Amino acid sequence: EQIEKGGYEHFMLKEIYEQPSAIVDTYRGRMLVDKGMVRMAGMDDNIERFVNAKRILIVACGTSWHAGLVAEYIFEDFARVPVEVEYASEFRYRNPIIDENDVVIAISQSGETADTMAAIKLAKSKGAFVFGVCNVVGSSISRETHAGAYTHAGPEIGVASTKAFTTQITVLSLMALKLAKAKGNMSNTDFHYHLQELDLIPGKIKKALEANEHIKEVAKKYMNAANFLYLGRGFNFPVALEGALKLKEISYIHAEGYPAAEMKHGPIALIDENMPVVVIATKKGHYEKVVSNIQEIKSREARIIGIVTEGDTDVRSMSDYVIEVPDTVEAFTPLLTTIPLQLLSYHIAVMLGKNVDQPRNLAKSVTVE
Ligand code: AGP
């Protein structure tokens, strides 16, 4: 096992550090930056189904569902197609309205999740075209779907999903770009620019990982908090959910993810000087709005950990700690902002002496209802 961990203390840490190369493995051979094209057999062979889809429905569970939420923002922004994201476990039990004009994307690291499998079978029975995004080659879900794309992240052993999440977002981004191009929703210049930006992401993740020692300090400071709040907006709202899930899973600290602007509709009542609030506030999209959300929380004495773009000064001046990530196009910021959140939950769990790779009550793949 020590050899398999490749010198890292835990599989989770190894997998966090593998993300730059895992993402290269995901887009290698698919993203042809020089030629300005995305090649993906499962989509190329069925491009009409995608182009004519009235709607894309994404079904998944847990972290894969969070990747689906990020994809909702990306598909709608790039390809201008309505997207709905469903928990597979809810979808299967609510007599959903779905037909042959729908494309269903099922996301699953393991490819064995029982609820996702049941949702796929239901969607197929209603005539929808079902596309799988799985990591495990030859898994049940990859065999049950009409077509699909593997994430090629390599084995993920830690129960807390890390590299599966970022590689799922990578595949889904490539799919959204491809569809945008096929539908004529994105100019060639813009398309090319996004390919180039995606190509830079692995290097930028490496940069984000350099904050590890600083993140350890933040972990040490807040490891004894009873509750954490994670806030984000737009593309980074799902990242807030994912950050909170990571902390819950491995440290057993109660954490909630919330869209930053929803705070004032309830959760703000929870805030006092004992509540660490992790706010994703990159210099894109809703930056000004997030800054004013931070002001609201600050005035309630919360401890603020800002996830910011390199060189940021506004959020820094309001935060107890900031963790920087490199700049990129808004749609790809989740690939960077998620890195410090993975490391933060990892270090807190290690400091609390928890079993990081095999947390209590959890299995790597949930093959029962
Ligand atoms: C993530 O950290 C989890 N352990 C869990 O939520 C997981 O993402 C979920 O069970 C879905 O698994 P899958 O991707 O293998 O279908």
Please write the tens of the pLDDT for every residue from 270-315. 999 999 999 999 988 789 888 989 998 988 889 999 999 999 999 9
- Measured CA to CA, the distance from residue 100 to residue 141 in angstroms comes to 20
Residue 331 in this model has a pLDDT that exceeds 80: yes
For ligand 1, say whether the CB of 365 is within 6 Å of any of its atoms: yes
For ligand 1, say whether the CB of 244 is within 6 Å of any of its atoms: no
Ligand 1 pocket mutation pick from 12, 172, 239, 366 by most atoms within 8 angstroms of CB = 366
**Locus of tokens 């894969």:** 64
pLDDT value of position 47: 97
Q: Which residue's CA is the closest to the ligand 1 atom numbered 4?
A: 160
Please write the tens of the pLDDT for every residue from 125-150. 999 999 999 999 999 999 999 999 99
Residue 365 in this model has a pLDDT that exceeds 90: no
Q: Name the residues annotated as catalytic.
A: 364
Confidence class for position 267, pLDDT limits 50, 70, 90? confident
Ligand 1 pocket mutation pick from 16, 70, 108, 161 by most atoms within 8 angstroms of CB = 161
> How large a percentage of the chain has pLDDT more than 70?
100
pLDDT value of position 255: 97
Confidence class for position 348, pLDDT limits 50, 70, 90? very high
**Locus of tokens 């809703």:** 286
pLDDT value of position 48: 97
| Residues with Cβ within 8 Å of residue 27, at least 6 apart in sequence | 170, 174, 198, 199
For ligand 1, say whether the CB of 159 is within 6 Å of any of its atoms: yes
DSSP string, 134-150: ESSTT-HHHHHSSEEEE
Please write the tens of the pLDDT for every residue from 25-51. 999 999 999 999 999 999 999 999 999
Tell me the CA–centroid distance for residue 151 and ligand 1, in Å: 14
Tell me the CA–centroid distance for residue 184 and ligand 1, in Å: 34
For ligand 1, say whether the CB of 110 is within 6 Å of any of its atoms: yes
- Measured CA to CA, the distance from residue 159 to residue 355 in angstroms comes to 10
Interface pTM, i.e. ipTM: 0.98
pLDDT value of position 37: 95
Please write the tens of the pLDDT for every residue from 162-179. 999 999 999 999 999 999
pLDDT value of position 369: 80
Ligand 1 pocket mutation pick from 110, 120, 251 by most atoms within 8 angstroms of CB = 110
Q: pTM to 2 decimals?
A: 0.97
